[in-house]
Chains A and B, each alone.
Chain A
């Protein structure tokens, strides 16, 4: 039984939590408020936590200076395709590793997991050469194919495998007696039951793709093909200095879908963390 905290302890605990909240909330607060401040106010000392003057034109300039709608669409559709693709690949691979007996299954799984240990910076040059030969540089294909068949998918496969391992074998045996073959068991029984794991894979994959930075700056060179993280770096003045307030307005718009996704899928996100065994 949990012991009830005394009012004094409760106050102290809440106070501590409020202090710990500052490093997490402050950057977002700073980004949103600074997006409507004139540049001179952003670096004013003492810092202005609440803007004294509002400049809403920053948001219209975001769309004037770059094809931001197109870039938004690029990020959105790439993230969507990568998310769906990764869910398909990782659920099938995870199921195979968890349920199908084949020679050296565990060894192969370990080799696949090793992919997680290789930093993307190491593989980016060979990948660039490969996609260059295939005529795919300055297209979105590398941003779609690399995550679906690369490290993010390996992580997703690991999550899905861990889920399918815990699925009672009797369910599959009952399905076999009921007349289902292997693929139908996967599709009709295992997959619908894997919704929590799939949701966590979807959230992690979407966030990873949405925030991808290194790959877009390597593979894309024209502004209309850019994704959002890459587009954010392009809000500079004639001397190459950052246009802070416009950049922060663009950053606020970029963070918005992620925030919405998180609010909608908060429960799955937390469950997803539990599935992976990771701690936030």
Chain B
């Protein structure tokens, strides 16, 4: 186990800058998820930590040691790839013991470590099979087995669940999380799936366009996103945004006036974006409780909750309600925004205002 520190790490391909100076500290034993949309540089950053990509500037330290110019094999890391990258011509046992074999481990030591990893991951009955004889989930487990067998200082996961179906993804998510709890090895995990990020991470790093947008615990990012990008990226269904102006009595959006909590006077008159998560609307027919009218466009019952697409003034938003109420498209209802969970962002730049 080790700390990982990135100081002003940059990557350019010719004149094109891909990573614009990332600073990141990862504590010993922490599970950090790098998340962001496609092309944000998260996989590149992971590959730079692994040593599979060179860095253009800055320093990467693993366990206090600068590893900028070290080969992947000398960084004491193990990596799980998106498509597993199992050696097709080797059995599960050989795949798992391959790295130890090349590091001069004795046969008995290799067999012992492979057995240990196979027991943890429930692979003991598959050790003589070839990767082509395994299901997607089993292959994923072998890839993890290959990583843990060496007991490295850091695990790197590059979108390891994206080739699995939705159900298996949930199962494997739990397995990776429990594996981390068991081994407590520092883990850096890349995904574009914010649900994976929220459920697995001790700390999330949100990347966009090669820049860090925000670093924090999952619920901190959910409750207090630093900017409009993070607010929109974290959470599913995503946060609703209404553009308008902060007024003395609330927020004026196109076609509707929305309530706001008390704000400092200097924000009045400022153009802003009003952000509210779908679950922070409440159904409330009483006009005295500060609700606003909403025209229902689409109703999607999910069982545990109902997702409703509706129009607030001229803006289409989504609401999620736990109640099982009979709602029909075209009808108008009253919804009340939860004032404790209103997010205001600057109309220019998207930085948080409240």
Contacts and interface: CB of A to CB of B under 8 A. Distances in A.
Contacts of A176: 51-52, 71-73
B50 A193 contact: no
Nearest to A174: B85
A174 B77 CA distance: 11
Interface in A170-187: 170-171, 173-180, 184
B222 interface: no
Nearest to B98: A178
Nearest to A191: B89
Interface in A144-179: 168, 170-171, 173-179
Contacts of A177: 50, 52, 72-73, 77-79, 99
Contacts of A193: 88-89
Q: Is the interface of A mostly helix, strand, loop or mixed?
A: helix
A170 B78 CA distance: 13
A177 B50 CA distance: 8
A180 B52 CA distance: 13
Nearest to B82: A170
A100 B73 CA distance: 19
Nearest to B84: A170
A170 B77 CA distance: 16
A189 B87 CA distance: 7
Interface residues of A, number: 15
A27 B309 CA distance: 78
B170 to A, nearest CB: 24
Contacts of B229: none
A119 interface: no
A168 B88 CA distance: 11
Nearest to B99: A178
A160 to B, nearest CB: 17
A35 B305 CA distance: 87
Contacts of B71: 176
B94 to A, nearest CB: 11
Contacts of B81: 170, 173-174
Residue of A171, A174, A189 with most partner-chain B CB within 10 A: A174
B78 A184 contact: no
Interface in A70-126: none
A15 B107 CA distance: 62
B332 to A, nearest CB: 53
A131 B98 CA distance: 47
B305 to A, nearest CB: 39
A168 B99 CA distance: 19
B103 interface: yes
A192 interface: yes
Interface in B118-136: none
A173 B85 contact: yes
B83 interface: yes
B152 to A, nearest CB: 9
A168 B85 CA distance: 8
Interface string B53-80: 0000000000000000001110001110
Contacts of B103: 179
A133 to B, nearest CB: 46
A170 B88 CA distance: 12
A192 to B, nearest CB: 5
Contacts of B72: 173, 176-177
Interface of A: 168, 170-171, 173-180, 184, 189, 192-193
Given A174-B85, A174-B86, 12 more contacts: A171-B87, A173-B72, A173-B81, A174-B79, A174-B81, A174-B146, A177-B73, A177-B99, A178-B98, A178-B99, A184-B102, A189-B87
14 contacts: A168-B85, A170-B81, A173-B52, A174-B87, A174-B146, A176-B71, A176-B72, A177-B50, A177-B77, A177-B78, A178-B73, A179-B102, A179-B103, A193-B88
Listed from nearest, the 4 A-B pairs whose CB atoms lie closest are A178-B99, A170-B85, A174-B85, A179-B73
